[in-house]
């Protein structure tokens, strides 16, 4: 296994992680920002107010994008398991 192989595998793993985790993180960030602006405008300083909308939004994203996320992860895992012999044989 060469340095290029390690870099390619690590780069692909990072890219898959960003693809799968990105939508959840972005929705959580947007909901948190909206609730924070609402709290600032209404001067409500309740720290627990942010959690319920975030949880609902994240569950909604998982319900909508969950099958796609699972497909991406399964495809990546199958590809990695299939490529292990060829990657190891190079070294």
What's the whole-model pTM score?
Answer: 0.78
Closest Cα to residue 54, out of 40, 70, 34?
Answer: 34
Q: According to the model, what pLDDT value does residue 91 have?
A: 61
What's the token pair of residue 22?
């990105």
What's the token pair of residue 9?
């595998």
Between CA 59 and CA 30 the distance in angstroms is: 14
Q: Give me the mean pLDDT over the 26-39 stretch.
A: 94
Q: Domain-by-domain residue ranges, the chain?
A: 3-90
Mean pLDDT of the chain: 91
Which single residue is written with the structure tokens 């709290």?
Answer: 39
3-state SS, residue 45: coil
- Whether the CB-CB separation of 58 and 21 falls below 8 Å is answered with no
Residue 5 has pLDDT above 90, yes or no: no
Between CA 57 and CA 77 the distance in angstroms is: 28
**DSSP element (H, E) containing 35:** helix 3-42
């Amino acid at each position: 296994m060469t340095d290029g192989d390690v870099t390619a595998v690590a780069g692909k793993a990072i890219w898959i992680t960003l693809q799968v985790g990105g939508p959840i993180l972005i929705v959580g960030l947007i909901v948190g920002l909206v609730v924070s602006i609402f709290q600032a405008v209404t001067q409500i300083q309740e720290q627990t107010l942010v959690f319920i909308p975030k949880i609902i939004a994240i569950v909604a994203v998982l319900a909508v994008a969950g099958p796609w996320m699972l497909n991406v992860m399964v495809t990546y895992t199958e590809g990695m398991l299939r490529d292990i012999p060829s990657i190891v044989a190079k070294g």
